[in-house]
Amino acid sequence: MERPRHQGMTKNTYMRWRLPLVCLLWEVAMIVLFGVFVRFGPEADAHWEEEKRERNLTSDIENDFYFRYPSFQDVHVMIFVGFGFLMTFLKRYGFGAVGFNFLLAAFGIQWALLMQGWFHSFKSGKILVGVENLINADFCVGSVCIAFGAILGKTSPIQLLVMTLFQVTLFAVNEYILLNLLHVKDAGGSMTIHTFGAYFGLTVTRILYRPNLEQSKDKQGSVYHSDLFAMIGTLYLWMYWPSFNSAISEHGDAQHRAAINTYCSLAACVLTTMAFSSMLQKKGKLDMVHIQNATLAGGVAVGTSAEMMLTPYGSLIVGFICGIVSTVGYVYLTPFLESRLHIQDTCGIHNLHAMPGLIGGIVGAITAAAATEDVYGKEGFIKAFDFTGTYQTRTPSVQGGFQAAGIVVSLLMAFAGGALVGAILKLPVWGDAAAENCFEDGCGVEVPEDEESDVYHMHNPDKPASP
C-alpha cells in the first residue's frame, strides 16, 4: 500500500503502524489496570452464597443481575447498533460510521469501568464491578458516541481514540460532581450524558473547523439506501429508549415510572416532528433527516425527570415541545451554526442532544422544585430524591436549585474540556484526512470494488460507473 500524496500542506493519513500501535498499547494498559484494580462485585463473586446468608436473601433471583441485565442488553444494543447505524446516513461513510463507533465504544467501556469505578465503587483498593457498572459504562460511552456525531467523517480513528480517552475521564468527573457532590437526580442522563456529550462535541468540532470543507460538500449528503440504514438505528434507539432512561433507577415504582414517562414522550415527539417536517418544507414532504433524528428528542428531554412524578400528560407535553424544537433546529439553526459560528455539526447533535438535553435539565429542575409529599407520599418523597442522611433537610426548592446548577456545571465541563481536547486533536500527528477527502470511507477503510459499489469512486477513481 502506497502512502497517500497530497499537494501543498501534506496530511499523512497512513495508518498501518500508528493505529495498531495505539490500539495494542492501550489494550495492554487496560489489561494491566484491570489486573491491578478490577475485581468481581459481591453479586458476581463466587462467594455469593455467603453474601446471600449475610443479607438474608433466600433465592438467586434476588441477585441484581436478574433485575438489571435485560435493561443492560437494551442499552448495549443502543450504543453499538442504534448509534452506529444512525450515523450511516452519509452516502460514502457507512463503514466508517459503524466501524469507528464500534472501536471507540469498545475502548470507551473499558476505560469507563475504571474511571467510574475509582469514583463510585472503589473499596479496599479495588474496583468492584457488577451489572450496574456495565450499564453506567455504556452510559458514559453514549456521551462519546454523541460527540462523535459532530465530527463524523472528519477525523481519523486515532483522533477518536484520543477523544474517547479524555472525554470518558471528564465525563466521570462531571458525573461525580453532579451525582455525589450536588446530589442531583439524572436517571436518563439529560445533563450528564446528552448536554455534556453534545456541547463537548460541538466545542471540539468548532476547534477543528475546516474552512475548505466545501470541497467535500457533495459527500455530506445521503442516498436512498444510506437513509434506510440510518432508520434502522433510529428505530432501535426509539424502541429501547425507555430501557435507557430507567436502567439504573431504583427497583419498583421509580423504574416503572421512568419507562412510562419516556414511552409517552417519545410517542408525542414523533407526531410533532412529522407535522413540522412537513410544514417547514416548501412542498410539504417529510425530510428523512428529521425523521431519523428529531423523533428521538423526546427520549433525551425526559431523561432527568423520567423517574419523577412528571405524569404521563406531562411527558406528552415534553415530547410535543421537543419534536418542534429539534425539527426547527435542523431547518434553521444547523445552517446558522455552520455559516456564522463555524460549527460544522455533521449529524446535527445540537438539535437531537444539546437543546433537548438542556430542556430535560430544566424540566427536571422544575419538576423537582414542585415536588410535594401530597403527590409522592411521605416515604415516596424521601425515596424519590434520596432525602436521607446529609440531605434529609433538603427541600424541593433547594433540590430544584441544585438541579439547575447541574446544567451549568455540565456546560462548563463540556466547553472547557472540548476546547482542551479540540486543541490536542488539532495537532498534525493524528492522521486525519484532508478536507477534500472527508466523509469518505476509502481514506481509512477497504471498500468493495464490485459494480455495486460505484458510490466509492475515490477508492478506484479510474473505474467507470455502472450504467
Confidence (pLDDT) at 466: 41
Confidence (pLDDT) at 460: 45
**pTM of the entire predicted model:** 0.92
3-state secondary structure of 128: strand
Confidence (pLDDT) at 13: 62
Mind listing the pLDDT tens digit for each residue in 254-305?
999 999 999 999 999 999 999 999 999 999 999 999 999 999 999 999 999 9
Q: Which helix (H) or strand (E) holds 123?
A: strand 122-123
Confidence (pLDDT) at 1: 41
Confidence (pLDDT) at 414: 98
Confidence (pLDDT) at 12: 58
CB 249 within 8 A of CB 308: no
Mind listing the pLDDT tens digit for each residue in 220-252?
889 999 999 999 999 999 999 999 999 999 889
Q: Which helix (H) or strand (E) holds 401?
A: helix 396-425
Cβ count within 10 A of residue 419: 15
Which residue shows C-alpha cell 448509534? 83
Cβ count within 10 A of residue 311: 15
Quote the CA–CA distance of 74 and 236 in Å, as a whole number: 9
Strand 126-129 to 38-40 pairing: parallel
CB 93 within 8 A of CB 222: no
Instruction: Collect all residues with Cβ–Cβ distance below 8 Å to 232 and sequence separation of at least 6.
Output: 81, 85
Closest Cα partner for 142 from 177, 93, 108? 108
Q: φ and ψ at 6, to 5 degrees?
A: -130, 155
Which residue shows C-alpha cell 436478574? 66
Q: Which helix (H) or strand (E) holds 238?
A: helix 224-246
* Bridge partners (DSSP) listed for residue 126: 123
Confidence (pLDDT) at 9: 41
Quote the CA–CA distance of 442 and 403 in Å, as a whole number: 46
Radius of gyration over alpha carbons of the chain, in Å? 23
Quote the CA–CA distance of 152 and 99 in Å, as a whole number: 12
Quote the CA–CA distance of 237 and 267 in Å, as a whole number: 13
- pLDDT < 50 positions in the chain: 1-10, 451-453, 456-467
| CA angle 383–171–140, rounded 5-degree value | 75
Q: Which helix (H) or strand (E) holds 413?
A: helix 396-425
Quote the CA–CA distance of 353 and 27 in Å, as a whole number: 30
Calculate the alpha carbon distances from 372 to 199, 376, 385, 404 in Å. 33, 6, 11, 18
Mind spelling out the 3-state secondary structure of 46-78?
CCHHHHHHHCCCCCHHHCHHHHHHHHHHHHHHH
Calculated CA dihedral for residues 179, 184, 186, 190, nearest 10 degrees: -100
Confidence (pLDDT) at 448: 85
